[in-house]
Chains A and B, each alone.
Chain A
Amino acid sequence: GGIITQTPKFLIGQEGQKLTLKCQQNFNHDTMYWYRQDSGKGLRLIYYSITENDLQKGDLSEGYDASREKKSSFSLTVTSAQKNEMAVFLCASSMTGYEQYFGPGTRLTVL
């Protein structure tokens, strides 16, 4: 088995601040994903990456950047945090075309 680690667990930022979330997986999966989940809602895809140094935009990419410098890691940057923004950011990985495995999430609060 493997595991997906997300850091930090909780992230509190100020309006306008640039914030970075990190994700590591030891499944040796090719594809990694970043999702945003608002309270009580479903998942929306922000970015995904099918291999090292590849980036693909999802439906919610505006306001975010991503980076995949190694196969095992995938970072997400909130380029300018919005006041009163609260969401959970979920990282996932998969062998291409197969089931996704998720990390525990990073909870973002913007003051």
Chain B
Amino acid sequence: AQSVTQPDARVTVSEGASLQLRCKYSYSGTPYLFWYVQYPRQGLQLLLKYYSGDPVVQGVNGFEAEFIKSNSSFHLRKASVHWSDSAVYFCAVSMDSNYQLIWGSGTKLIIKP
């Protein structure tokens, strides 16, 4: 079955440190890939997207992600986190159906001062 896995429910990082949030999917083809962020009591905002081409995609606020097809992964990275990055991050993947996204369960990012 097609699925998206975010193995870390919570990640704690010190302010200024680097960050990686993991996302793996189960699908034999080449999917469309997305990362969204949800700040407290808000809707989801698109951080970045991958459709084709350069496997490293840049997003807003210094975030980037790398599509590694051989590993079925699309991990999110940031070189130096800020306290305002505290939020829940969702990975989503479009596979066979062009209409639906398969969602990961989310990773809550906590920034330590």
- For A49, the closest partner residue in chain B by CB is B99
Q: Does A64 interact with chain B (Cβ within 8 Å)? A: no
Say yes or no: A100 contacts B106, CB within 8 Å: no
Complex alpha-carbon distance, A45 and B97, angstroms: 14
Complex alpha-carbon distance, A90 and B44, angstroms: 9
Say yes or no: A42 contacts B103, CB within 8 Å: yes
Interface centre among B42, B44, B49 (most CB of A within 10 A): B44
> Which of A11-19, A71-79, A101-109 lies on the face that meets chain B?
A101-109
CB within 8 Å for A42 and B104 given contacts A97-B94, A101-B46, A105-B43: yes
Complex alpha-carbon distance, A83 and B77, angstroms: 41
Which of B32, B42, B106 interacts with A42 by CB under 8 Å? B106
Q: Does B13 interact with chain A (Cβ within 8 Å)? A: no
Say yes or no: B90 contacts A48, CB within 8 Å: no
B 24-61 to A, binary, CB cutoff 8 A, 1 in contact else 0 = 00000000101010000011111001000000000000
* Chain A nearest CB, measured from B92 CB (Å): 8
Q: Does B84 interact with chain A (Cβ within 8 Å)? A: no
Say yes or no: A56 contacts B43, CB within 8 Å: no
Say yes or no: A31 contacts B99, CB within 8 Å: yes
Known: A43-B103, A102-B45. 15 other contacts (CB 8 A): A41-B105, A41-B106, A42-B103, A43-B90, A45-B100, A50-B99, A92-B44, A96-B98, A98-B32, A99-B34, A99-B49, A102-B43, A103-B43, A104-B42, A104-B43
CB<8 Å pairs between A and B, sample of 10? A4-B43, A41-B106, A42-B103, A42-B104, A42-B106, A50-B99, A97-B98, A100-B46, A102-B43, A103-B43
Binding site for B on A (CB under 8 A): 4, 31, 41-43, 45, 48, 50, 56, 58, 90, 92, 96-105
Binding site for A on B (CB under 8 A): 32, 34, 36, 42-46, 49, 90, 92, 94, 98-101, 103-106
